[in-house]
Amino acid sequence: MGPGSPSVWHNVTLLTVKPLALMSVFYTIRFFAFTQYRYFFWAAAITLLSIFAKPSYIIIFLPALVVYMLFKKYFDKRQLWFASTIILFSLAALVYQYTHEFGKGKDSSIIFDFLGVWSIYTPSVTVSVLMALGLPFLITLFNYQSVKKNEYIKFSWLLVLFAFILFACFAEGGERYSDGNFSWSWHLSLSFIYLFTIIEFFKQYFLMPAVVRYSLLAIMLYQVYVGWYFLVEMINGVAFNSSYDSFPFFFG
């Protein structure tokens, strides 16, 4: 859990919300690009539906949406109506879920706890974040001119920012403290930033200097190898939440 992963597979509700969240990002960006009512409907409907699969997406989507609209100066009537609809219905659903989930007993609560849970799973949160975001950051950096025109990547970076703040600052009190349930937003945001930056990488592949594209490709392939390494280890009986003290350079 320390670095986080864009490909968490063991949580059913996360797997359920992920395609809804992806479609939400897609239709939201399409709506702001074309302001057509069909995109309004699909973006709003799918975004609101995602709350009932898992609220981890909506709690980073809402602040990302507000900041995105402020930066882009999206203030016309239809855009404001879109944002207002999603925000009001989402807040109502979140309040309902909060009162039913955290009102059951005194041991259920949300607490401010800066890096408390995150530090359980990694000796260095800074290193873990750099490991998690290294590839998408480098792709963004070396393709900055094209990324500036890619609204999906820009919105995904906002999701990453608010997911980081959420996981770094909040936790569940009581017996579920160490479960790290505020980390799910972080995992989700990594899925989006990896997906959209990797797509951009291959779109710009032959436009990058050879040393840059081959270096980024090597990092990408190594991450694929690490994923397969842990998959094989889990098939051999290692728990999905096990940790390793060294990088898996080869099977042994």
pLDDT band at 252 (very low <50, low <70, confident <90, very high): very low
Chain segment 211-227, per-residue pLDDT in tens: 999 999 999 998 888 87
Task: Report how far apart, in Å, the C-alpha atoms of 230 and of each of 8, 42, 66, 224 are.
Answer: 12, 37, 38, 10
The 10s digit of each residue's pLDDT in 194-206 is 999 999 999 999 9
Question: For residue 242, what pLDDT is reported?
Answer: 63
Among the listed residues 62, 65, 26, 63, the one whose alpha carbon sits nearest the alpha carbon of residue 42: 26
Shortest CA distance to 123 belongs to which of 248, 249, 245, 247?
Answer: 245
153 in the Ramachandran plot: left (φ > 0), alpha (ψ -120 to 50) or beta? alpha
For position 245, what pLDDT does the model report? 59
Q: Can you give the pLDDT at residue 243?
A: 61
Q: Does the structure show a pLDDT above 90 at 97?
A: no
Determine the pLDDT at residue 247.
Answer: 56
In terms of Cβ atoms closer than 10 Å to its own Cβ (0-12, 13-18, 19+), residue 177 is: middle
Write down the pTM of the prediction: 0.89
Q: In terms of Cα–Cα distance, which of 2, 3, 7 is closest to 234? A: 7
**Mean per-residue pLDDT for 170-192?**
86
Residues in Cβ contact with 77 at an 8 Å cutoff, skipping those fewer than 6 apart: none
Note the pLDDT tens digit of each residue in 49-95: 999 999 999 999 999 999 999 999 999 999 999 999 999 999 999 88
Residue 248: per-residue pLDDT: 57
